[in-house]
Chains A and B, each alone.
Chain A
Amino acid sequence: MNKDFRDTIIFLSPLLLFVSLFMLFPVLGTFWLSLWRDVAFLPRKFVGLANYLRLFKDTQFWQSMIFTLIFSLISVAIEMVLGIIVALVINERFHLRGAIRGISLLPWAIPAIIGARIWQLIYRYDYGLANYLLGSVSGVSINWLGTSGGAMFSLILADVWRTTPFVAIIILAGLQSVPEELYKQARVDGANLFQRFVKVTLPSIKPVVIVALLFRTIDALRVFDIIYVITGGGPGGATTSLSLHSYKYFLLGDFGYGSTISFVLFIIAFALALLYIRLGRFREIAL
């Protein structure tokens, strides 16, 4: 028993060391930094909660907050619907299913930056594919990235493309755990294809859908990569997410205020993570 105790400590300590040093400690450090005036070329000074008060006057912060929430809400909603559809397709038995499953992974498997670069080129006003296709049908050109609505739409589409695969895989696992008998019984009761989906499939995959929903929401709230490339936060700050807003202060050398913004984002994400853990079914696996 004593030996087991010693082994427990030895086996767990590398993990605990790494996550403490490079995740837990930095988050606490971020909170600590947010209490300071820590700007390049100025002496450091402890300012308490002054940086948090500054948030109230920072109109870009509120614009970023609203953008981040709207972006997350719409893109996650679309991803859930498409993810369920894709999962239903790749759950069926058909020729070359393996290949289709592989294809369904691709947008998510490649670096987000590369996907973003491709979409950036597609959205280009002058020689982008989107306007070319639109122009040959209707003769209209849209300034995809030049207006705030267009930029929002463009970012959501790029995000939906990239993360629907992830949602689909998580929901596929849920679909496979639906007992075949439920479908048989529903057939006996005379339920048609659509009724079986609504009455059997949807209730059965609800827990998995909630897990995917929360996980994706937390992930969407920290969106950075695709915005950095596709719009750079523009036009005029309209698509500057909270992550990007914070990053811009780091870039200016203002670590105090940059940390303040990112700590607010952390609090939001952490609250959702607690909810996720409460709803998730991790207990069975862990014990």
Chain B
Amino acid sequence: MNEEQIKKLLLAVGIVFIVVFFLFPFGWMVIVSFSASPDFLIKGNLSFTLSNYKDILSIRSLHFLNYLKNSLIISGIAALSSALIGALAAYAISRFKFAGKMLIVLGVLALSMFPQISIVGYLYKFMTRLRLINTYSALIFPYIAYSLPLALWILLSYFSRIPLEIDRAAQVDGASRLQILRKVILPIALPGFVSAVLLLFMFSFNEFLFALMLTTDFRARTVPVGIALFQGLHGEIPWGYIMSASVVSTIPVILIALLAQRYIIQGLTGGAVKE
């Protein structure tokens, strides 16, 4: 075997590994979600059914649709707000000269590594005092703050690659800084902005600990908490419900990951991965 063939062989092995290792749990999730009972491996009673899906979508006491709605609204609002606030800050940092710039950038970066657990205890007390426990606000505000470092990091890497001459030209035409950001910089950095919004959405959609502590029931509870706390009507873990709920709630994220993988990878690496 020559070197080219060895390389091709290794590549093929690698691709098979990625597909099998990364995908088989998803396959298992789908199979269990469509089967009448989860113990078919030992009982051999594998039979296809849609009842898990019908139940989670129609039995109101399971509250799955509430969780999904809460998650979509909370993550959507948090992602957009965080991207907009991040864009304002990234504009200032990439455009203006001021003292303490490095301190702000590095400080915000350090914040992103704070363990959630060392924030959530005090946040719980804070939200209780404001009577916000179990409301959308209890999650939206912390999610915006917790995802801002990521928003700033992504947008800064895009904005700082846009030449300052563009701003100056627009200023000569009498545009204000806010107008320049809105009408010139954001359109140029649109791929970056899209990456940011998608990643920030996933970030909030997937968050668990804040949602676990700061919500108490279906009025504000999100999908991850719902799925972690799913109880069967008779005490047994309702695997059929859990897996069908998982399939339904991962569809938006899987679509984003597959269709927009280029944007997500660019966003995560500050645009370093080109295609």
Contacts and interface: CB of A to CB of B under 8 A. Distances in A.
Interface stretch (B48-56, B57-65, B186-194, B266-274): B266-274
A8 B19 contact: no
Contacts of B11: 89, 92, 94
Say which size band chain B's interface belongs to. 35 or more
Nearest to A34: B121
A218 B144 CA distance: 21
B233 interface: no
A218 B120 CA distance: 17
Interface in B119-155: 119-126, 141-142, 144-146, 148-149, 152
B91 interface: yes
A224 interface: yes
A199 B93 CA distance: 38
B110 A127 contact: no
A85 B13 CA distance: 11
Contacts of B212: 228
A30 B227 CA distance: 29
Interface stretch (A51-59, A148-156, A260-268): A260-268
B261 interface: yes
Given A109-B254, A224-B208, A15 B110 contact: no
Interface in A185-208: 192-193
Say which size band chain A's interface belongs to. 35 or more
Given A103-B22, A121-B239, A172 B269 contact: yes
Contact of A228 (B26, B148, B228, B242): B228
A240 interface: no
B152 A15 contact: yes
Contact of A118 (B101, B160, B225, B246): B246
Nearest to B43: A127
A218 B85 CA distance: 26
Contacts of A183: none
Nearest to B40: A127
A225 B254 CA distance: 20
Given A111-B208, A127-B41, A225-B208, A11 B89 contact: yes
Nearest to B245: A114
A69 to B, nearest CB: 14
B148 A224 contact: no
Nearest to B42: A127
A21 B145 CA distance: 8
Nearest to A116: B228
Contacts of A126: 39, 42
B88 A14 contact: yes
B113 interface: yes
A265 B144 CA distance: 23
B202 interface: yes
Identify which of B14, B118, B120 gathers the most chain A CB atoms within 10 Å of its CB: B118
A242 to B, nearest CB: 8
Q: What does DSSP make chain B's interface, helix, strand, loop or mixed? A: helix
Interface in B157-179: 157, 160, 177
Nearest to A277: B106
A24 interface: yes
A22 B146 contact: yes
B231 interface: no
A112 interface: yes
Given A30-B119, A282-B109, A106 B268 contact: no
A169 interface: yes
Given A33-B121, A161-B22, A170 B110 contact: no
A113 B137 CA distance: 22
Identify which of B141, B228, B254 gathers the most chain A CB atoms within 10 Å of its CB: B228
Given A21-B145, A111-B249, A176 B117 contact: no
Contacts of B109: 273, 277, 280, 282
Interface string A85-118: 1101110101000111111111101111111111
Contacts of A285: 156-157, 160, 270
B19 A15 contact: no
A29 interface: yes
Contact of A101 (B14, B108, B261): B261
B72 interface: no
Nearest to A4: B96
Interface of B: 3, 6-7, 11, 14-15, 17-19, 21-23, 25-26, 28-29, 32, 38-43, 85-86, 88-89, 91-93, 96-98, 101-102, 104-106, 108-111, 113-126, 141-142, 144-146, 148-149, 152, 156-157, 160, 177, 202, 205-206, 208-209, 212-213, 223-225, 227-228, 239, 242-243, 246, 249-250, 253-254, 256-259, 261-262, 264-265, 268-270, 272-274
Given A173-B273, A250-B121, 17 more contacts: A4-B177, A11-B91, A12-B104, A21-B141, A24-B111, A99-B258, A101-B265, A102-B257, A105-B257, A106-B257, A170-B269, A215-B113, A274-B110, A276-B113, A282-B106, A285-B157, A286-B106
